[in-house]
A and B are shown apart, each in its own frame.
Chain A
Amino acid sequence: MMQEKLYTQNFKLISMASIERLDQYQPYSLDTDRKNQILGEILFDLEKKHIEKCPEYKLISKSWTFSDSDVYKIENLPFMPVRLFKELELLSIDRADIRKTLTSSGTSGQIPSKIFLDATTASNQTRVLNKILSSFIGKKRIPMLIIDSKSVLKDRNSFSARGAGILGFSMFGYDVHYLLDDDFNLDFELLESFLEKHKGEKILLFGFTYIVWEFFNNALQKKGLTINLENGILIHGGGWKKMIDSAVDTHTFRKSLFDKTKIQQIYNYYGLVEQTGSIYMECEAAYLHASNYSDIIIRDHRDYTIAPIGQEGIVQLISSLPSSYPGHSILTEDLGSIAGIDDCSCGRKGKYFTISGRIKNAEVRGCSDTIQK
């Protein structure tokens, strides 16, 4: 209760908290109390803005029944089910100010999410991604290999999550090359000449988890090839649903690649296209971490109350970045559990967690077809 009061007071004192306030800190340096205070203020300013500017959000927010109280706490923010971004076009800006529209990869046949970015949100995304990643790979640009095919980027006007990811991460490298051809064959020649050229240097590799596994790891395996990437840093994310299906966990993934390439630094990342930028990076201890810019809450599906540490539930993701659309608090369709707060063996502060899968399609009884709204 003490804390709750504190926030309320601070809320009155500071009228407009902007995300820049977080920039003075290292991305994983704030402990829970400090983070709740600063991030909380930023989020409630975002909340106010979205209520004012996005009529759809206002309607939902004013009828929200899942908060304990009106107390000014991150947990009391409404959480938008992620599917809403497929069903509705949600904006908190004038259409004229749209700079870029992101779409989710989505399973084929499904409607993709549509995320509208203005200049501020787009630049915040870039800056925060930069800040989070440079804490892992350093501030200098390094030679980079993308484990994907260039064809993913064909349509530049409408970025898929995969395309946007590749472009977003590409700015951390130079001499950027794509390792897969249009048919997703690994270009061994390119790989060898690149490694020869940058011998002894730090190398950044980036790809989608499933693509890295299927078309890099398994391609090397098939050829019985080993290469030397001991100075490599692999960042991979997305597409993990397929990985869970093929029962490859993060430890198997790391070990298999290490055996073939001697690569030691492998980091998974987790996030939503709806919250691009404020990604959750996996640490050396193989836990995903919320940075200062984001938070995670696990909710019990029966009543949406907050699940205790260690208990599996539906993942709610909080980000301080979305100001052009009301995506600052989203209920995903993923399942996960919090492993701890502020005390991960890797030294990073904040919540650390694991993702265990996706909520299953229920075996629905009855004779009606699926509801189409």
Chain B
Amino acid sequence: MIQFKNKIMSTEDLILPENDKVEYLVGNPSNILQSRVLHPLNDLTIEFLTELSNTILKSPIAKLYPDVITFGYWCRAANLKKMKAGYINLDNRKGLGTVFHIAPSNVPINFAFSYAFSLLSGNVSIVRVPSKQFDQIDILSTFIKSLFDNPKYCLIKSNTYFIRYPHNDTVTKKLSAISNARLIWGSDETVKTIKSIDTPSKCLDIPFSERYSFAVIGAAEVLHLDEIKLKRLIDGFFNDTYLMDQNACSSPQFILWYATDDQITQAAKAKFWDAVNTKVSNEYDLAAKSSVDKLTWMCLDLVNRDFVTEVNTHTNNIYRVQMNSLPDSILGLNGKYGYFYEYSSSDLCVIEKLIDIKIQTLTYFGVNKEELFNIIYKSGKVGIDRIVPIGTALDIGIIWDGYDMIYSLSKIVDLK
């Protein structure tokens, strides 16, 4: 086990406020001087996450929270081993140092992934969890603390700090002042605010700010689907969108239909959306406010956007805005709770026109993925960090937003 003395710290005032507003869920960053950066994907960390995974997957309480289970499944031994096998030479790498995580306020489980990325890269983690009291956070904090009772994890323990506080610049400033890297999850506004806070000059900020995502569907393939395969596609699409109110950065808001013949597109759309509607009717809890929001957006789209020809509705479950041309940018085509913009093309190369730095994920079905990759990779444009099958839009991984977290959160000691 290689350890690197954590020299990033000075003995500066690290005393954080002790009041009822600031909760130390796991560890107290005031003790951070004992921490050390580690080797990426070291055995102890993998053992620790594996044990955490086992704890989660065995827990009856965790079973109540699908997102906790997803995390537990993600950090199981097999997955971590596979991940490690993908990195050929990490021997001269070590963690960046103290990584301050500002977790997004409305995705309960995200803090855990952010923490795991940073831990796996060999870092000391201070995670600011959402100020909202999510059960998921308490459950995971309890699990992790109980694992820390085992002395073999003392290195992990002294590298792990979960803290919860409401909006408070003083605390954020103090933690930023000792950060070697910050993972900032949140809106553009949040990122801007956090970035304006002073950090040491070598501190690396990795912002996970607002992104836009879209999907491309090959119409002919949809028409060929039998019932079982159609169900698989629809379940996947539902997970990508409705599961998170179509409000995750990776949820598609715009759908590009690809077919050589418009009749094929029309038939495929009918088949696809009918099946989505059935699924949504049975499984999505549509709030009254969402219905009214969608109706309002529909009216505004009909009035304000001259490329909108009509809006198709399937009760209030699905609103589909039909477009006869593409605007200069698709980033403004925003929908939530099942509100989609649709455009058809017989040429996949229109995707090149859509690429923008703000675009994160392209989910696909029924088109050649290499062709998509080639269009995007060779476009010379910045944007679109993920090309993944429909159904996996929300699968967060060690490569996220175009960053390999292991490489991004570790440094090389160059020996010649």
Interface string of A351-371 (1 = CB under 8 A from B): 000000001111011111101
Bound-state CA distance A335–B287 (Å) is: 12
Q: Mark B309-338, 1 if CB is under 8 A from A, else 0.
A: 011110111000000000000001011110
**0/1 interface trace, chain A 84-122, chain B, CB 8 Å (1 if under):** 100110000000000000000000000000000000000
Contact call A87/B291, Cβ cutoff below 8 A: no
- Chain A nearest Cβ from B250, distance in angstroms: 9
How many chain B residues touch A (Cβ–Cβ < 8 Å)? 45
B289 located at the interface, meaning its Cβ lies under 8 Å from any Cβ of chain A in the complex: yes
CB of B291 within 8 A of CB of A367, answer: no
Residues of A within 8 A of B110 (CB): 367
Which residues of chain A are near B297, meaning CB under 8 Å?
A: 371, 373
Contact yes or no, B106 A364, CB < 8 A: yes
A83 and chain B: residue at smallest CB distance: B296
Chain B 285-308 interface 0/1 with A at a Cβ cutoff of 8 Å (1 = within): 011111110011101101110000
| Chain A, residue nearest B303 (CB) | A56
Residues of A within 8 Å of B189, CB to CB, are 369
Q: How far is the CB of A369 from chain B (nearest CB, A)?
A: 4
A365 and B245 contact, CB distance less than 8 A: yes
* Residues on B with beta carbons closer than 8 Å to the beta carbon of A361: 289
- Is residue B154 within 8 Å, beta carbon to beta carbon, of the partner chain? no
Contact B245 A362 (CB under 8 A): yes
The answer to the question of B47 belonging to the interface, with a C-beta cut-off of 8 Å to chain A, is no
What is the minimal beta-carbon distance from B113 to any residue of chain A, in angstroms?
A: 12
User: How many Cβ-Cβ contacts under 8 Å join chain A to chain B?
Assistant: 115
> A69 interface residue, CB < 8 Å from B?
no
Are A360 and B289 CB-contacts (below 8 A) given A365-B244, A369-B189? yes
**In the assembled complex, A188 has its CB within 8 A of some CB on chain B:** no
**A361 (CB) vs chain B CBs: closest residue:** B289
Is A174 part of the binding interface, using a Cβ–Cβ cutoff of 8 Å? Answer: no
B251 interface residue, CB < 8 Å from A? yes
A241 within 8 A of B: no
Interchain CB contact under 8 A, B245 and A301 = no
Shortest Cβ-Cβ A-B pairs, 9 listed: A366-B247, A303-B315, A301-B288, A362-B287, A369-B187, A81-B296, A359-B288, A366-B244, A366-B248
Binding site for B on A (CB under 8 A): 56, 59-60, 63, 65-66, 80-81, 83-84, 87-88, 301-304, 314, 331, 333, 335, 359-362, 364-369, 371, 373
Q: Contacts A56-B303, A83-B292, A314-B292 given; 5 further ones with Cβ under 8 A?
A: A87-B296, A304-B291, A359-B288, A367-B247, A368-B210
A-B contact pairs, 17 of them (CB 8 A): A81-B299, A83-B292, A84-B299, A88-B300, A303-B316, A304-B291, A359-B288, A362-B245, A362-B287, A365-B106, A366-B247, A367-B106, A367-B110, A367-B249, A368-B336, A369-B187, A369-B188
